[in-house]
Amino acid sequence: MALGRHTVVFVLFCCLCYITAFAVILRTTNKDVWANEFEPIELTCLIESISTNNPRIEWKKIKNGVPSYVYFQSKISGDLEDRGVLREPANLLILNASRSDSALYRCEVAAIDDQKPFDEILISLAVRVKPVAPRCSVPDSVIVGSTVELRCSENEAFPPAHYQWYRNTEELPEEPKTSARFYNSSYVMNTQTGSLKFRTVKKEDAGEYYCQARNEAGTSRCSSQPMEVYDLDIVGISLKVLGVMIAVIFVTVGLCRIQKQGYCSCKDHGDSNYKVPQHSSGMDYVSADEGHFRHKSSFII
Ligand SMILES: *[C@@H]1O[C@H](CO)[C@@H](O)[C@H](O)[C@H]1NC(C)=O
Ligand SMILES: *[C@@H]1O[C@H](CO)[C@@H](O)[C@H](O)[C@H]1NC(C)=O
């Protein structure tokens, strides 16, 4: 009885060994692969067990649900034709990753001599793209106390970039209250959208500004641009306006006096030559026109 039980266990064990030994089983070291653009990346397709000597290996790329061949009949084809290599045992090496390589990849191995003759493994590849130089908008000059928004954006980066602002090469903290230097500044920063908004801009906010776009693949910045903050000096402006008004009054009074001194000559030339002809020429026009019209109509009759 005891021997019989042992025999059953042994037979079961052997069956298990047999199935594993005659089955193709694949494994990968990473199912969620991230790569940087223009860098090499290897998608691993390791064969855990196989009995067939020359298994058929295929790689497919699945983008937006549409599969296409990447490795087929022992050749790299499609997008990866010049950039792909198959490495032992069935790994796919991309020599120079491109943003268009982001997709699902399926490694398929068919081993006809095995009991379980087929296995496949799915790997997702995401290619990070470094940001390009962002477009920055910084106003040249603003009035103290006004609301001012500086903007920064770029749209190449993957994953999307985050933005950092710098003033005179010093990074602005996201929250001004956390820094002694920026404590009095009224800005609100949005690192996702690249907006830097001063609710009431101060003299101390003036400086050379630039912005940097950053993601896991790298950073890029725009060139720095100056922002000037000037006082709208009410007293100064009032004094200037007053000065101009006084000057105008003096000039007017002066002109009147000159006009009064040469009263006769001025009136004769000014009034009779300027105003009267304009009026009478209008009258002349009308009467001349009427005469012309009458003449015409009488001619027709
Ligand atoms: C990768 O490809 C890009 C353009 O497709 C090219 O400019 C670059 O030189 C390539 N890099 C390498 C290392 O081959
Ligand atoms: C912030 O404002 C306070 C009061 O106006 C002043 O004492 C302090 O020096 C200012 N800090 C900075 C960094 O400008």
Work out the angle at residue 30's Cα, subtended by the Cα atoms of residues 27 and 32, and round it to the nearest 5 degrees: 125
**Ligand 2 contacts CB of residue 177 (under 6 A):** no
Nearest to 78 by CA among 89, 87, 67: 67
**Ligand 2 contacts CB of residue 184 (under 6 A):** yes
Ligand 1 centroid to 216 CA: how many Å? 19
Ligand 1 centroid to 80 CA: how many Å? 13
Give the residue, out of 181, 183, 185, 203, with the most ligand 2 atoms within 8 A of its beta carbon, to mutate for a pocket test: 183
Tell me the pLDDT tens digit for each residue of 165-177.
999 999 999 999 9
Q: Which of 3-7, 141-145, 254-258, 295-299 has the highest mean pLDDT?
A: 141-145
The identity of residue 156, as a single letter, is: E
Strand partners, 42: 93
Token digits for 272?
């009779």
Instruction: Give the pLDDT confidence score for residue 222 in this predicted structure.
Output: 97
**Ligand 2 contacts CB of residue 200 (under 6 A):** no
**For the chain, what is the mean pLDDT?**
85
Tell me the pLDDT tens digit for each residue of 236-263.
777 888 888 888 888 888 888 888 776 5
**Ligand 1 contacts CB of residue 96 (under 6 A):** yes
Question: What Rg, from alpha-carbon coordinates, does the chain have?
Answer: 43
Nearest to 163 by CA among 130, 197, 208, 193: 193
38-52: average pLDDT = 94
Ligand 1 centroid to 81 CA: how many Å? 14
pLDDT surpassing 50 at residue 299: no
Q: Which ligand is nearest to the CA of 100?
A: 1
User: Contact at 8 Å (CB) between 163 and 212?
Assistant: yes
Tell me the pLDDT tens digit for each residue of 201-234.
999 999 999 999 999 999 999 999 999 999 877 7
pLDDT band at 10 (very low <50, low <70, confident <90, very high): low
Work out the angle at residue 117's Cα, subtended by the Cα atoms of residues 116 and 120, and round it to the nearest 5 degrees: 100
Instruction: Give the pLDDT confidence score for residue 36 in this predicted structure.
Output: 96
Give the residue, out of 179, 184, 187, with the most ligand 2 atoms within 8 A of its beta carbon, to mutate for a pocket test: 184
The span from the CA of 27 to the CA of 122, in Å, is 10
Q: What is the pTM of this model?
A: 0.67
pLDDT surpassing 90 at residue 294: no
Q: Which CATH code of 3.40.50.720, 3.20.20.20, 2.60.40.10, 2.30.29.30 fits the domain covering 22-128?
A: 2.60.40.10
Q: How far apart are the first and last CA of the chain?
A: 147
pLDDT surpassing 70 at residue 63: yes
Closest CA to ligand 1's atom 12: 96
The identity of residue 25, as a single letter, is: I
- Domain 135-230 is classified in which CATH homologous superfamily? Immunoglobulins (2.60.40.10)
Q: What is the DSSP string of 80-98?
A: GTTTEEEETTTEEEESS--
The span from the CA of 33 to the CA of 107, in Å, is 14
42-48: average pLDDT = 96
pLDDT surpassing 60 at residue 195: yes
Q: In the chain, list all ranges with CATH 2.60.40.10.
A: 22-128, 135-230
Q: Which ligand is nearest to the CA of 94?
A: 1
272-279: average pLDDT = 47
Residue percentage of the chain with pLDDT more than 90:
64
**Residue 163 belongs to what H/E stretch?**
strand 162-167
Which ranges of the chain would DSSP assign to H, the alpha helix?
A: 2-21, 234-261, 263-267, 273-300
225: how many CB neighbours lie within 10 A of its CB? 15
Closest CA to ligand 1's atom 5: 98
Ligand 1 centroid to 170 CA: how many Å? 34
The span from the CA of 107 to the CA of 87, in Å, is 13
Which atom of ligand 2 sits closest to the CA of residue 204? 14
